[in-house]
Amino acid sequence: MTAEATPSLVDKTDGPAEAGPSVRGPRARTTTAYLRYVAGKLGGAAVSLLAVLVTSFFLFRLIPGDPVKFMTGGRQVSAEQLASYRREFGLDLPLWQQFTGYCGKALTGDLGTSYQFRTPVIDKITEALPNTLLLTGTAFVLYTALGIVIGTRSAWRNGGAGDRLNTGLALTLYSIPSFWLGLLLIIVFSVGMGPIPGLFPTGGMESGNEEGFAYVLDVAHHLILPVITLVAVEYGQTLLVTRSALLDEMGSDYLTTARAKGLRDDLVRRRHAVPNAMLPTVTLIFINLGRTVAGVILVETVFSWPGLGGLFYQALSVPDLPLVQGLFFIFAAAVIVMNTLADLIYPLLDPRVGR
């Protein structure tokens, strides 16, 4: 009996020691899986940025027009002078040498020198970026909040009169071209139409003769119409995504259980349904956040807003290749970075992601 019991005791003693790694194993595997997930997303972002760098160089060289002739201002110049301009900006080099030089400089943060402004591209971007962030950032906060609030209420009262009205209005405004809506607002509220007087400036960011608090009010006055244009066009997308995601959660068992526990309907929606339906909306928020850096070319052009979008339009009309390439790279990089951040945040919202 004793001889037979000894092995049994040894087996029981060894059991917990062997069970220790198995208890820690799932956590270790989860951490390893998440690190692989992060590495994959960062690697994908790096490849995307490299692809954008290559695309930005070759794509805009398909634009018709000679930037050297633009720099002469239409004057009659000799062939020697044109050749001198080409040598100055490196346009006389073979295409592969221009490409390698562009990539080498871009990796160090040097995006070249603008043809029309004769200043570093990064300086022009830095100068216009705050204006773009003021416009698109203000609109982003407003249309995101508006879309989430109205989308949540529409889904919770699915099929009601308010839901039909909000959904129809969102679809209508989302389908309207932003430049057309901007022009319409300028005609009605800037120029004036019938009994409606001209209340807002037709364009620009400031009147140019204000200081202090009056300057802040003046900029806000110029900001109203372009912000209304962006909010009207963009809020519908957030509303529809939020509404659709919440509708998918409406029949879930955990909501029925929450109601059975006696929770008020508002608490069930706010504490249980909305947090679990936010993953698609978070994706859209980060995409739109990346677009705030890119600006909105059409809206900034229509309202003569001195931001990155308007600068991109000016550069295309030349074509100012270094400025166009630099802006395109910044626009795409902002979206890629924000998408990558959204991917890295997903596991915090849903532990199933990244395992």
Residues 234-280 have pLDDT tens digits of 888 899 998 888 888 777 777 777 777 777 767 777 777 777 777 78
Please tell me which residue, 50 or 354, carries the higher pLDDT value: 50
DSSP 3-state of 74: coil
The pLDDT of residue 231 is above 90: yes
Q: Spelled out in words, what is the top-level CATH class assigned to the domain 44-64+111-349? A: mainly alpha
Average per-residue pLDDT in the chain? 79
| Percent above pLDDT 70 for the chain | 81
The pLDDT of residue 174 is above 80: yes
pLDDT of residue 278: 78
pLDDT in tens, 130-167: 999 999 999 999 999 999 989 888 888 888 888 899 89
Task: Compute CA distances 325 → 58, 117, 120, 298, 303, whole Å.
Answer: 9, 15, 13, 18, 24
Domain range summary for the chain, segments of one domain joined by +: 44-64+111-349
pLDDT of residue 2: 44
pLDDT of residue 26: 47
pLDDT of residue 178: 87
The pLDDT of residue 24 is above 60: no
Global pTM?
A: 0.76
Contacts of 45 (CB under 8 A, 6+ apart): 336, 337, 339, 340
pLDDT of residue 322: 85
CB atoms within 10 A of CB 189: 18
Torsion of CA 12, 15, 17, 23, to 10 degrees: -140
| Percent above pLDDT 90 for the chain | 13
Q: How far is CA 37 from the centre of its chain?
A: 22
pLDDT in tens, 181-219: 999 999 988 887 777 777 888 888 888 777 788 888 989
